[in-house]
Chain A
Amino acid sequence: GENVEQHPSTLSVQEGDSAVIKCTYSDSASNYFPWYKQELGKRPQLIIDIRSNVGEKKDQRIAVTLNKTAKHFSLHITETQPEDSAVYFCAASTTGNQFYFGTGTSLTVIP
Chain B
Amino acid sequence: GAVVSQHPSWVICKSGTSVKIECRSLDFQATTMFWYRQFPKQSLMLMATSNEGSKATYEQGVEKDKFLINHASLTLSTLTVTSAHPEDSSFYICSASDTGRLGEKLFFGSGTQLSVL
Residues of A participating in the B interface, judged by any CB pair closer than 8 Å = 32, 34, 36, 41-46, 49, 87, 89, 91, 93, 95-99, 101-104, 106
Contacts and interface: CB of A to CB of B under 8 A. Distances in A.
A102 B43 contact: yes
Interface of B: 1, 6, 32, 34, 41-44, 46, 49, 91, 93, 95, 97, 99, 103-111, 113
B7 to A, nearest CB: 13
B106 A34 contact: yes
Nearest to A99: B106
Q: Is the interface of B mostly helix, strand, loop or mixed?
A: strand
A46 B113 contact: no
Contacts of B93: 43-44
A43 B106 contact: no
Given A41-B111, A44-B93, A93 B43 contact: no
A89 B44 contact: yes
A100 to B, nearest CB: 8
Contacts of A99: 34, 95, 97, 106
Nearest 7 A/B pairs, CB to CB: A96-B104, A43-B108, A103-B43, A96-B99, A104-B43, A43-B110, A44-B108
B42 A104 contact: yes
B43 A49 contact: no
A97 B43 contact: no
A89 B43 contact: yes
12 contacts: A41-B113, A42-B110, A46-B107, A93-B106, A95-B104, A96-B104, A97-B97, A97-B99, A101-B44, A102-B43, A103-B43, A106-B41
